[in-house]
Amino acid sequence: MNRAEEPSGLEGYLDIEERDARPVHRRTLLYLFRYILRQRKFLFPGIFLILVSTSAVLLEPRLLGFAIDEGMIPKSWYHLKRIATLFFFVECVRVSASIGHAYLFEALGQRVMQDLRMALFTHLQEIPVSVYDRNPVGRLVTRVTNDVSALAEMFSAGFVTILGNLLTVLGILVWLLVLNVKLGLLAASVLPFLILASIYFSAKLRIAYRNARSKLSALNAFLAENILGMRVVHLFNRQGLHLRRFLRVNQWYADAQVSSIRVYAFFQPTITISAGMAVGLIIWFGGRMALSGEIKLGILVAYFSYALSLFQPMRELADKWNIFLSGMASAERVFSILDWKPEFRQGDSQRAAGPIKDLRGHIVFENVWFAYDQEHWILRDVSFEIQPGERVGVVGHTGAGKTTIISLLLRFYEPQKGKIILDGKDLREYDKRALRASLGIIQQDVFLFSGSTWDNVMLWRELSGAAHESIDSLLTSMGLTEQLRDRTRSLQERGSNLSMGERQILAFARASVANPAIWILDEATANVDSQSEVELESALRRISDGKTTILIAHRLATVRSANQILVFHKGALVESGRHVQLMKKGGLYSKLYRYQENLESHFSQTV
């Protein structure tokens, strides 16, 4: 405990939660079992083949014994030949069965893994957005990939080996006792001790591994932080000190590795020596029994082989048990995600969603209050009405709550108080996905997926040939070059080679493909040069003509011509009306407008 008293400067890196410490829950095992049982066509043949190969393993020394007793000692070439031939066939069966069950269990593992991955992925599509606010994407990705892989390793390495080894050990034990009870008991006499030793070492090993892992993650955390903050380290001449700290955590890690090696270094010789003792006992007692004619010589020779095969699996068991446990820890994490509540009926995400029929686009906010964390109100008592077909501008400073209005319309979140009414019906009465499919959203930062422009526009929608044509002409009319319309060409690194204007065109196209009843533009033309802006404006006008359109803008000039402008400040709707009315009023809107006007005139002077 000396370490705790003397500050090492590394305390901040060590407080990593140790997830593997949790015990294996029965529920997790049951869940897993359900997934395994779905793969019966691999599971049962696999188990059958394991039984076959284990039987062959058991038969092999016995056959050698027969060869000695029936062939060599009576000098019968005939018998020897037949036994040797039989041996050959047994070996053929064994090798085929071994390959077969290894392959089948690999297939089983892969299938279970794919099922789990899909269950997890599908579930992640169904949980509400608010969950993503709380969980870093990196961690979720780790669940879908690494944890599922750890599970697969548990199947292909841990599970099969444990099962195979256990069967072998049990088989040999039974077989030894059947052949000769006395000698069998003798050979097995060291086994209880060895089993106890295995349990002991396996526990030790787990602690050592866990320790090494936590030291490694402290080392990684420290190094990563220092690489990120290298400038600061340099500016304050801390290289020497931080290097010394690194040496300390590096040493901790090396020590932890060594202590895991030490466990092995004791464990493996324990098995060697136990096996030696068992064979020594067999030589002495078995030899005397053979002399007295109590057993045949061939059986004695077979016993030598059996004794050694008895100890071989023990070497692996302790290790594989740990793989099994860490696989279970992964399973636990995977299933804990599956427990999160989805935002709509489970499995709904696998169907294609269609828009709400005959939506007019009449939107009413009635005393809506909203906070992400139940404490800081983002929207305070917001009420407004948007008539069907109206163009409405929403303006205000950053943090005024403009974007939150969209999130509520999309039902990414639900308001705490008040309600939102769409076409006379509470928003909550609509199917979430149908509702979302009815809204066309264009945002400032266009999220592009890797894939072609076509994929990004269609979002992997499957359409008829005629629909293809019409979308192609739409893209052309928006000014997308032929090169970018190429369906087979993938975007470079998520469209890093596209200009802002081109990205916006893709976003417009993406939204218009769904033919939405309501358009929402969130700062959609903020980063676009004026030429593209004009083109986009006119394209949008054409498409959204007569449909309800909500324009969220930082630049007020964008919303000047709107039917209605809603001015937000710190979550409250402070002014509303047409541009002329608001300017006349001389409130927040007019101040903002004048400021921006001035800024832009200055900007155009310097550029």
Partner 1 sequence: MSSLVFAWRKFLDRNSLLRHYLWKYRKFVVIGLGSLLMVDVLEVLPPFILKKSIDALTEGQPLRRLAQMAFAYFGVSLLQGVGRYGWRMYLIRASMFSGRDIRQRYTEHLFGLSASFFDRRRIGDLMSLATNDVEAVRMAMGAGLLTLADAFFYFLTVPIAMYLLSPKLTLLAFVPLPFIPWFVMRNQQAVHSRFEKVQNFFSKLAAMAQENLNGIRVIKAFAREDAQIRRFRAAGEEFVGLNMHLARVQTAFGPILDFTMSMGLVLLLFIGGRGVIDGAVTLGTFVAFQRYIQKMVWPMTALGMALAMHQRAIASSGRIKEIFSVQSDVPQPKIAQGEFTQTLGGARGKVEFRKLSFSFPGTQEIVLSDVDLTIEPGERVAFVGTIGAGKSALLSLLPRLYPAKRGMLWVDGIDVNDWPIEELRRQVGYVGQEVFLFSETVTENIAFGLHNWMAESGQLAPIEEATRLAAVHEDVLNLVEGYHTRLGERGVNLSGGQKQRVTIARALIKQPAILVLDDALSSVDVQTEEKILKSLRSRVGRNTEIIAAHRISTVRDADRIVVLQEGRVFESGVHAKLMRANGTYRKFYDEQRLKEDLDQFIQKYEEKKQSSGDFA
User: Of residues 215-254, which lie at the interface with partner 1 (CB under 8 A)?
Assistant: 216, 219-221, 223-239, 241-243, 246-247, 250-251, 253-254
Cβ nearer to partner 1, comparing 233 with 535 = 233
Pairing of strands 417-422, 363-371: antiparallel
Pull the structure tokens for residue 447.
């999220």
Closest distance of CB 25 from partner 1, Å: 26
Question: Restricting to residues 252-271, which ones interact with partner 1 according to CB under 8 A?
Answer: 253-254, 257-258, 261-262, 264-266, 268-270
Residue 517 is classified by DSSP as: S
What is the 3-class SS of 262-297, one letter each residue? HHHHHHHHHHHHHHHHHHHHHHHHHHHHHHCCCCCH
Given 275, 474, 475, 498, the residue binding partner 1 (CB under 8 A): 275
Cβ nearer to partner 1, comparing 309 with 532 = 309
Site string for partner 1, 534-573 (x = CB under 8 A): -----------------------------------xx-x-
Contacts with partner 1: how many residues (CB under 8 A)?
151
Cβ nearer to partner 1, comparing 44 with 449 = 449
Interatomic CA distance for residues 288 and 286, integer angstroms: 5
Interatomic CA distance for residues 221 and 242, integer angstroms: 13
Sheet architecture: strand order including 564-569: 439-443, 518-522, 548-553, 391-396, 564-569, 572-577
Interatomic CA distance for residues 103 and 390, integer angstroms: 64
Question: Restricting to residues 289-318, which ones interact with partner 1 according to CB under 8 A?
Answer: 290-291, 297, 300-301, 304-305
Given 25, 41, 288, 585, the residue binding partner 1 (CB under 8 A): 288
Given 31, 179, 319, 349, the residue binding partner 1 (CB under 8 A): 349
Give how far Cα 527 sits from Cα of 3, 91, 219, 502, 554, Å.
Answer: 55, 72, 42, 11, 11
Cβ nearer to partner 1, comparing 90 with 177 = 90
Give how far Cα 196 sits from Cα of 264, 371, 410, 489, 552, Å.
Answer: 15, 58, 60, 62, 70
Question: Restricting to residues 96-155, which ones interact with partner 1 according to CB under 8 A?
Answer: 98-99, 102-103, 106-107, 110-111, 113-114, 117-118, 121-122, 124-126, 129, 132, 137-138, 140-141, 144-145, 149, 152
Task: Output phi, psi for 369, to 5 deg.
Answer: -115, 135
Per the DSSP assignment, residues forming a β-bridge with 452 are: 490
- Return the range that interacts with partner 1 (CB under 8 A); candidates 174-182, 274-282, 330-338, 523-531: 274-282
Interatomic CA distance for residues 225 and 174, integer angstroms: 57
Does residue 167 interact with partner 1 by CB under 8 A? no
Closest distance of CB 539 from partner 1, Å: 19
Given 181, 283, 463, 534, the residue binding partner 1 (CB under 8 A): 283
Does residue 279 interact with partner 1 by CB under 8 A? yes
Question: With 0-12 CB in 10 A as exposed, 13-18 as middle and 19+ as buried, what is 107?
Answer: middle
Give how far Cα 414 sits from Cα of 97, 130, 560, Å.
Answer: 58, 10, 30
Question: Restricting to residues 370-409, which ones interact with partner 1 according to CB under 8 A?
Answer: 377, 380-381, 397
Cβ nearer to partner 1, comparing 489 with 594 = 594
Closest distance of CB 224 from partner 1, Å: 6
Task: Answer whether 152's CB lies under 8 Å from 114's CB.
Answer: no
Cβ nearer to partner 1, comparing 7 with 465 = 7
> At 202, is the secondary structure helix, strand, or coil?
helix
Does residue 503 interact with partner 1 by CB under 8 A? no
Question: Restricting to residues 19-48, which ones interact with partner 1 according to CB under 8 A?
Answer: none
Closest distance of CB 606 from partner 1, Å: 7
Interatomic CA distance for residues 595 and 162, integer angstroms: 74
Task: Answer whether 176's CB lies under 8 Å from 306's CB.
Answer: yes
Question: Restricting to residues 70-89, which ones interact with partner 1 according to CB under 8 A?
Answer: 71-73, 75-77, 80-81, 83-84, 87-88
Cβ nearer to partner 1, comparing 513 with 536 = 513
